[in-house]
Amino acid sequence: MSDNEQAVQNQDFKDRKTGLVIFGILQIILGIVCALMIPLMIFSMVMRGSSSANMYATTTTTTIPGITFYVLFAVGFIWLGIGSIKARRWARALVLVISWIWIICGISGMLFMIFIMPDMYSRMPEKAAHFMKYFMIIFLSILYIIIPGANILFYGRKDVKLTCESRDPAIRWTDKCPLPVLAMSIIFAGWTPSMLLMGFYGWAIPFFGFILSGIPGLIIILIVMLLAGYVAWGSYKLDIKAWWGAVLLTIIWSVSAIITFLQKGIYELYEKMNFPEQQLAVMKQYDIMQGSTMSWYIGLNAIVFLVFLIYIKKYFKSSSANPYITG
């Protein structure tokens, strides 16, 4: 028996090593599922010529970003799963934070699908509409609520935290930042490189009533990337300037999108993003995501995120007064 295992037995809490292994295996399974999606998307891209007459037609430019995300998800879940099996402190912190982001974004997406896009179901045959609606509710509930919710319930337990701290006594990088602020840092860190994928969509971006693309769109995207990258790093370091940067960037980005969708509508953006004509035609037929609808949706999400930013502002203090900042 190792010294760490002996120390765990002497602590006054229930060791959750078995649970960490089980949940670690579940993370790895999620990673494998994501990895299996990659060849399916590649196959869809190869076979796009035979399916070009429907709304699910794909192009190389619209498929590569999806493949990129699945690669990242596969690597990330497997990496976190291995860390959980080894009872690493950083793995517990990251799974917990990512699961909170996952479930909040999932609930937002579910509400959008159920309440904001009813017209899509109303145009289907009645039986098909009922089946699709309830199937989507069940599937999305499992994917966006049950799975991340289970992670939150388990990894959020005090015994799990103490187990990881006992078996992994070294201070990890995730310990140097409060978990809510770490969530903010991860959000902006993920936003930064993902903007590069807009290159596959012609660098199209909404900008205060205009749809910019090409070189002008690229310039705005590079500026946003720099700002988001600064916010990600600065928030991890608990720099109050980064918090203000997050507030301003959220407001400016949201207001810009709202104004653009109210004036131009979302279909002009999709046209500039080089979506297949078949997809655009079907979306217009079903009246999916009107400009006013998207503006309301973006505005509500922005308000929720700003409330979150206000809540975590308390963690942004001077280094001499903040126990999370170490030399």
Q: In Å, how far are 4, 9, 169 from 1, measured between CA atoms?
A: 8, 11, 17
Q: Is the pTM of this model over 0.95?
A: no
In a domain, 299, yes or no: yes
Q: How confident is the model at residue 18 (pLDDT cuts 50, 70, 90)?
A: very high
Query: Which residue range forms the structural domain that includes residue 244?
Result: 177-327
CA distances from 83 to 24, 28, 92, 260, 291 (A): 7, 10, 8, 43, 43
Residue 61 forms part of a structural domain: no
**Whether pLDDT at 9 is above 90:** no
Q: What pLDDT band is residue 308 in, cutting at 50, 70 and 90?
A: very high
Domain presence at residue 161: no
Residue at 112 is within a domain: no
pLDDT at res. 140: 85
State the pLDDT at residue 312. Answer: 96
Taken in order 53, 59, 63, 65, the sign of the CA dihedral is negative
**Span 62-72, pLDDT tens digits:** 788 888 999 99
Residue 31 has pLDDT above 80, yes or no: yes
Number of structural domains (the chain) is 1
Is 33 within a domain? Answer: no
How many Cα atoms sit within 13 Å of 128 on the Cβ side? 6
**Residue 252 CA: distances (Å) to CA of 190, 201, 257:** 18, 22, 9
| Domain assignment of residue 27, yes or no | no
**What is the pLDDT, as a whole number, of residue 319?**
45
**pLDDT tens digits for range 85-136:** 999 999 999 999 999 999 999 998 888 777 666 556 666 666 666 677 777 7
The contacts of residue 89 (CB under 8 Å, 6+ apart) are: 164, 165, 168, 170, 172, 174, 175
